[in-house]
Amino acid sequence: MEKYELVKDIGSGNFGVARLMRNKETKELVAMKYIERGLKIDENVAREIINHRSLRHPNIIRFKRKVVLTPTHLAIVMEYAAGGELFERICAAGKFSEDEARYFFQQLISRVSYCHSMQICHRDLNWRTTYWDGSPAPR
């Protein structure tokens, strides 16, 4: 954990918290997902990590190689999507044109279809778990 410095908190939910972190050596920004440890949580998160690491799709945020264990938390280092949540983008825009909505929906369906082809079900697909990397395509 000494390798990273906190930039800001970027989200929270049932899983725990997400923080924007900066690698002190490379200056790379990453998202770090902190999950409170417990036997059941550790089993579910281990499955999520194994499944997620097998995914290679342009609209799916990648886990970095690093998973950090502390006595109380598990921290997963992930790519950082600088564009924020789909929810925030919809609120800021007020509405999308039909062409924009179609494009974004096609990207989401492509992601879901890919996951299903890999025998993986997302189980928490919503406006707050879909992120933007700053380009037009959701991740």
Name the residue type at position 70: T
**Active-site residue 124, yes or no?**
yes
Per annotation, catalytic residue among 9, 99, 124, 133:
124
Ramachandran assignment for 17, one of left (phi > 0), alpha (psi -120 to 50 degrees), beta (any other): beta
Task: Say if residue 33 carries a ligand binding annotation.
Answer: yes
Pairing between strand 63-69 and 73-79? antiparallel
**Residue pointed to by tokens 């039909």:** 98
**Residue pointed to by tokens 């440890």:** 37
b/e map of 37-52 (b: 16 or more CB within 10 Å)? eeeeeeeebeebeeeb
Q: Which residues are annotated as a binding site for ATP?
A: 33
Which residues are annotated as catalytic?
124
